[in-house]
Amino acid sequence: MAALPRRIIKETQRLMQEPVPGISAVPDDSNARYFHVIVTGPEDSPFEGGLFKLELFLPEDYPMSAPKVRFITKIYHPNIDRLGRICLDILKDKWSPALQIRTVLLSIQALLSAPNPDDPLANDVAELWKVNESEAIRNAREWTRRYAMDN
């Protein structure tokens, strides 16, 4: 494998030295472009108290092209599908090299605080979120408790 770009090394060091509150991202032993991530569910959201595992991969072109990010822990959210794929513009056409691993993960955490059922990826979840928000929030809370809590 080609030498790891210094930008990735710099980002990794900063993630270790000045971690973002509520987010932890650790590179894999065998592949420094692959990160194990934990995002904590934001306060006052149905995901509060949850520890959500994600995987983040920096493609060859990074930072010119966006990191690939996916939820590993099950989550009930209108913009995240059953495979854990995330619908977020900065991961697609709104990517910019001025964004970083930390800003991407902060955006994902913000998405948990502000679900957007009008731009759905998980259609059944989005539908319920629109017609019966309180039931959808109950489901999200139940999934968080069942799958993402660390006792």
Partner 1 sequence: MSLNESVQEELEVLEAILMDDITISYDEKNRPEIVKTTIFPSTADEVDKQYVCVTLEVNLPETYPDCEPSVQLKNPRGLDESTINNIQKAIKDKCMEFLGQPVIYELIELIRESLTESNLPTCQCAVCLYGFSEGDIFTKTTCFHYFHSYCLANHLVITKRLFQEEQDKLPAWQKSVKEFQASCPVCRESISCDVEELKSALPPKDLESAQHFQVTSDLKKLQEDMRQLFIYQKNKGGIIDIEAEENKLLLITAGDGDSVEVS
Q: Is residue 123 at the binding interface for partner 1, with CB under 8 A as the rule?
A: no
Stretch that binds partner 1, among 23-31, 103-111, 113-121, 126-134 (CB under 8 A): 23-31
Residue type at 42 in one-letter notation: P
Binding status of residue 12 toward partner 1 by CB under 8 A: yes
- Kindly tell me which of 6 and 44 has the beta carbon lying closer to partner 1: 6
- Alpha-carbon dihedral angle through residues 31, 32, 34, 36, given to the nearest 10 degrees: 110
Helix (H, G, I), strand (E, B) or coil at 5: coil
Contact present, 139 and 128 (Cβ < 8 Å)? yes
Known catalytic membership, residue 44: no
Q: Kindly state the tokens that stand for 77.
A: 């959210």
**Choosing from 87, 112, 122, 128, which is the catalytic residue?**
87
**Contacts to partner 1 from residues 44-103, by CB under 8 A:** 51, 53, 61, 63-65, 71-74, 82-84, 93, 96-98, 100
